[in-house]
Chains A and B, each alone.
Chain A
Amino acid sequence: MKFPKSPEECAPLAASFERISHQSVFTNCVGALDGYHLPIQPPSRSYTTDNNVRSSSYFSSHYESCGINIQACCDAHCRFTFLGIGGAGGITKDRAAVIDSGLADLIEGLPQGYICLADCAYQPTEKLIPLYGGDLELKNNDNANFNYFASQLRIRIEKAFALMIRKWGILHRPLSNDLPNIKDLITCIGCLHNICIDERLKVGEEDDVLLQSSRCHLPCQQLVYMDSCAVVSTSKNWTCVMCLSLFYLGLTPFRSIPTTY
């Protein structure tokens, strides 16, 4: 797990993000950023009296459970480049947690011209670009377009969390470990997660469905992407949505189109 610092480290990360970006819109993104509420058992009183943090401040009313705020940053293959503890789950918000976990300093130390993407809970800075949230997206057509392209890259961090939690089943239920051990445990799980993905990339299993594209097998021959407007049939023939809807309307001369799944 290594956060990029030099331009040499940033270039391959940006290139891999450029591959999944539609029409290569983002060429300088090196990471996607998000927070995660890690559920834990209510911590014991002995850990919480030392600081200003009380036992009750671990309770998040939004998630209705006690937890810890985890800040993470990942690359285009869902490998974590940073994983740290932001603070107690109840009182710490994402824009404070990113500073507390030390990730903000790392992002400010990025070379000139490289950025990280995050969701709309974060404070926008020069290197940390959040998406437009709420009414801002609807206000302007450009904002909506930006969100469309940025979400393609930002989805990677959500995917990484889901992969980690599904694979390492200790995270399925609230962690009952001592609070001082949780930081090591999370770091350990993140490293193992990276190793598993490295291995899968080495074997060459292409799990990036978004990267797959093909021509529509009907005469329209349109280039279809898996993410936006493609339907894959059982016989590996790709059909674009337009041809499919024309078929169901009875406007195409074809008798049958392979069934979709």
Chain B
Amino acid sequence: MDSVNLLALQQTRAATFFSQMALAISQVTAVFDDDDDDDDEEGVVVVKRRRRDNKSILQEEEQQRHRWDRFVIEHQNTALLRRHLKMTYDSFQTLLELIRPHLPTIKVDEEMDAAVRGGAGGGAIIPELQLYATIRYLSGASYSDICFFCCISTTSSLYRLYGRPSGQSTFLLK
């Protein structure tokens, strides 16, 4: 008898859970419904549109480039920045000025870059971010970690670290 009661309890719990889920999903989708301009559409089309909207919002939130200036302003006086850079921010800047001419940079239109930077995904990988990613790599982070918290795509992070792959290279010890 106990087992039957337990089963019933589990079923009711599952039912309440699913109902809550359904409520939450309906609330979330209601937001997207409000955003839609066309209300008079068939159900199938609406479902497709919802999926697309959902995906685009995820992209906007997650695939944004690491905002270096904002990161520095937030953490300039805390110990976090020094722990991440392994040195103070001042010496980081002096180091960057030393190696800035040697870093691979793509000449971009600044207005265009700022516009892209505000949106989803884009923006050039500035030298500060390159040096930051390199220091993180040398202090033990793996490629996937760097790609995640700097928000760089995998291929471009590999190019930054290794340079573009050339043909056969030979190793001479001396």
Residues in A lying within 8 Å of B, measured CB to CB? 43, 46-48, 50-51, 53, 85, 87-88, 100, 102, 167-170, 172, 178-181, 185, 188-189, 192, 195-196, 198-199
Is the beta-carbon distance between A195 and B87 smaller than 8 angstroms? yes
| Set of chain B residues within 8 Å of A102, measured between Cβ atoms | 174
How many residues from B make CB contacts under 8 Å with A?
19
CB of A48 to closest CB in B, whole Å:
8
| Set of chain B residues within 8 Å of A170, measured between Cβ atoms | 137-140
Closest 8 CB pairs of A and B: A169-B140, A47-B171, A179-B171, A199-B91, A169-B139, A180-B171, A168-B138, A170-B138
The answer to whether residues A87 and B140 also contact, given A181-B162, A199-B87 and a CB cut-off of 8 A, is no
| Set of chain A residues within 8 Å of B76, measured between Cβ atoms | none
The listed residue (B95, B138, B141, B170) touching A47 by CB distance below 8 A is: B170
Is the beta-carbon distance between B174 and A100 smaller than 8 angstroms? yes
| Set of chain A residues within 8 Å of B77, measured between Cβ atoms | none
Q: Does B86 contact A (CB under 8 A)?
A: yes
Is the beta-carbon distance between B170 and A50 smaller than 8 angstroms? yes
The answer to whether residues A180 and B173 also contact, given A168-B138, A192-B86, A199-B91 and a CB cut-off of 8 A, is no
13 contacts between A and B (CB under 8 A): A47-B171, A50-B170, A51-B171, A87-B173, A167-B86, A167-B139, A169-B140, A170-B137, A170-B140, A172-B140, A188-B138, A189-B138, A192-B86
Residues in B lying within 8 Å of A, measured CB to CB? 86-88, 91, 95, 135, 137-141, 162, 168-174
